[in-house]
Structure 1
């Protein structure tokens, strides 16, 4: 758990240094996998982490397809100095957290309180969950009706002769 939290912290700093949308999407996918793993380890079931992975990866796939069609020939430029300074700062922060045993205390708290699915779906939160499901279904239907299917792709392909 400590390693995953440290990796999540490092990925957040790396995301700040990137400027290309495809590399940002890759970091977002990695952070989604780490978050889902942490959530699965904290709960008794990996069901919600599986759902989060499916939702986030489908959204990242849509973003990837959009960016690949708009900026297909753009080159990656990695700022070496910024990445190196970011890595050094992250290393100092992780060493500081290990030195002060902050990560040990958070790990001890996580082991004592295991979240169960019963706490998430009780009578109090059931109405909110049903409303969110209805809202997402309504939004999906509206977006499907708004999108013009016969218009074609965002960027038309150029035919070279």
Structure 2
């Protein structure tokens, strides 16, 4: 939690769009890890992480194409402050993780996850994976190479 607050306050002092994106990615990773520990399953946090990272990839491509020649300067004072706060956050997180032993999964939650991958559920799981693979394959076929990327390619 301390790392989340440090990362949020660090966002106030950042002015460059790419460093804002990196900070947002770190914030997303921390939130997904925290929500995974709280919910005792990482499925929801994994989906949220993938959605936000895919949106950030689109934003990064847009910013890289519009502001490609902009200089990136990082203040040494802010870097040192961030490193000190990050170190303090890591040291205090170890103490707070020991207090959170009540969040460890119990037998009922482990049983619920084993039901998902039991022999009765193998056919629906395989069908879901095949459906997702075929959907990805068809989208790749339908998207034309000239309409796909945002930048124009010079090798055509």
TM superposition score normalised by structure 1: 0.53
Q: Superposition RMSD on alpha carbons, in Å?
A: 4.0
Q: Which of 67, 70, 73 pairs up with 1:71? A: 67
Work out the number of aligned pairs and report it. Answer: 115
CA contact (8 A) 1:32 1:53 kept: yes
Counting only pairs closer than 5 Å after superposition, residues 62-101 of structure 1 correspond to structure 2 as 62-84=58-80
Q: 1:81: how far off?
A: 2.9
1:25 aligns with one of 16, 21, 33: 21
**Conserved? CA contact 2:21–2:60, under 8 Å:** yes
- What is the aligned counterpart of 1:47 among 26, 43, 50? 43
Counterparts of 1:109 and 1:155 in 2: how far apart (Å)?
Answer: 50
Q: Is the 8 A contact 1:69 1:155 kept in 2?
A: yes
User: Given the superposition, is the C-alpha separation of residues 79 and 85 from structure 1 closer, same or farther in structure 2, using an over 3 Å criterion?
Assistant: same
Gap regions ≥5 residues in structure 1: 97-102, 117-149
Q: Is the 8 A contact 1:14 1:86 kept in 2?
A: yes
Report the equivalent of 2:30: 34
Calculate the TM-score normalised by the size of structure 2.
0.54
1:44 Cα deviation after fit: 2.5
